[in-house]
Amino acid sequence: MVSSRRIADVAAEAGVSQTTVSHALSGRRPVAPATRARIMDAVERLDYRPDRLATSLRMQRTQTLALIVPDIANPYYPASARALLDGVNDVGFMTLITNTDGDPEGERAALQEMVARRVDGIVMHSLATTTADVRRIVGPDLPVVVVGGLTGHTETDLVVTADSVGLGEAVKYLHDRGVRDLGFVDGPEGNGMYRLVAFLGAANALGMNVQDEWVAHTPFTREGGFAAAMSLLHGDRRPAAIMCANDLIAIGVMDAARALGISIPRDLAVIGFDDIETAALVTPQLTTITNPASLTGATCAELLLERIGRGAAAPYMTRILPTSLVLRESA
């Protein structure tokens, strides 16, 4: 049963103005965390339920956001999505989630569809679309946060991970163990390849040997990693270590090594990227690089709500999140 309590009751209970309550519930303006906590406690105590339809008509908003991801089956994205949802649900937003497979046309089509649905903001995990192209598709005013991908000109708010730091740690770790011959399995060509570029920079700086035939492109899946590794590991000379653009690819590489009778890590070291939960569950446990999924989702929620509150004219913001090497058994 919908409560008959009014926003004025919430304001009185929390000891703030009705305007502050409105800002906290709508995300239109920043509200101090302690004040927002008092307001949400008052909402819960009074069982206040805003009239979403009336609010949407008055504010010319749909109270919906969009989350665009490459592959919702990859465990990294649900973990990030959960943190995003936790950050926006409390202020009255529902979130539509769609999948692009990291395809350039799929990313553009998803953006166009969400604009047509009149969402109030978009978070997009981009693999193939620059922020300039995103802005061209969605128009000048729609709040957008882009995660990773090809940044081009920064024409949206941006959340990126310091990939070069974690990859640099991993390459140095292998170098210090005496490994010199490295391979890399990246995602499909045309999907940014920013981790491959960072890997090659770190490998070149330490004088590591990376042959062209030891670099492969494949879908960001376990099956893709298996197929790529079967090709890389069949040559007369194979790399002593293979680093991968994500953990699913790395687990597929380990599957292929096992099928070929190659011992990990004795004969081949394997390092992934993302540190999904499965990385610690496979045998041997996967050495990988952290990509903080929950922190990414929470940061996206924070930036998007702040952008909705501040408006399109405010300067765009970039948040850089940390990465680091997680040593387990595969390297």
Q: What is the DSSP string of 132-191?
A: HHHHHHH-SSS-EEEESS--SS--SEEEEE-HHHHHHHHHHHHHHTT--BEEEEES-TTS
* Cα–Cα distance, 81 to 203 (Å, whole number): 33
Q: How big is the chain by its Cα radius of gyration, in Å?
A: 23
Q: Which amino acid is at 27?
A: G
80: Cα separation from own chain's centroid = 6
Q: What is the pLDDT of residues 11-69, one digit of tens each?
A: 898 999 888 887 787 665 678 888 888 988 888 888 776 655 445 444 556 789 999 99
Q: What is the pLDDT of residue 192?
A: 62
Q: What is the pLDDT of residue 36?
A: 85
* Cα–Cα distance, 120 to 95 (Å, whole number): 10
Looking up tokens 């390459």, which residue turns up? 171
Q: What is the pLDDT of residue 31?
A: 82
pTM tops 0.75, yes or no:
yes
Q: What is the pLDDT of residue 42?
A: 87
CA angle 13, 15, 28 (to 5 degrees): 100
What band does 310 get if pLDDT is binned at 50, 70 and 90?
Answer: confident
Q: What is the pLDDT of residue 127?
A: 85
Q: What is the pLDDT of residue 176?
A: 96
Residue 240 pLDDT exceeds 90: yes
Residue 3 pLDDT exceeds 50: no
Burial class (CB in 10 A: 0-12, 13-18, 19+), 311: exposed
Residue 2 pLDDT exceeds 50: no
What band does 217 get if pLDDT is binned at 50, 70 and 90?
Answer: very high
Q: 229 with 239: CB under 8 angstroms?
A: no
Q: What is the pLDDT of residue 205?
A: 96
What band does 296 get if pLDDT is binned at 50, 70 and 90?
Answer: very high
CA torsion 241-247-250-252 (nearest 10°) is: 170
The average confidence (pLDDT) of the chain is: 89
What is the mean pLDDT of the segment spanning 206-228? 95
State whether residue 239 is helix, strand or coil: coil
Residue 4 pLDDT exceeds 50: no
Percent of the chain with pLDDT strictly greater than 70: 91
Q: What is the pLDDT of residue 1?
A: 31
Q: What is the pLDDT of residues 123-178, one digit of tens each?
A: 999 888 888 899 999 999 899 999 985 555 678 999 999 999 999 999 999 999 99
DSSP state of 235: S
* Cα–Cα distance, 214 to 234 (Å, whole number): 11
For CA atoms 99, 104, 105, 108, give the dihedral sign. Answer: positive
Q: What is the pLDDT of residue 19?
A: 83
* Cα–Cα distance, 83 to 295 (Å, whole number): 7
Q: What is the pLDDT of residues 57-100, one digit of tens each?
A: 445 567 899 999 999 999 999 999 999 999 998 788 999 999 99
What band does 116 get if pLDDT is binned at 50, 70 and 90?
Answer: very high
For CA atoms 245, 247, 251, 257, give the dihedral sign. Answer: positive
Residue 312 pLDDT exceeds 80: no
Looking up tokens 């670099």, which residue turns up? 215
Biggest alpha carbon–alpha carbon distance for the chain:
77
Domains in the chain and their CATH numbers? 7-56 (1.10.260.40), 62-161+293-321 (3.40.50.2300), 163-289 (3.40.50.2300)
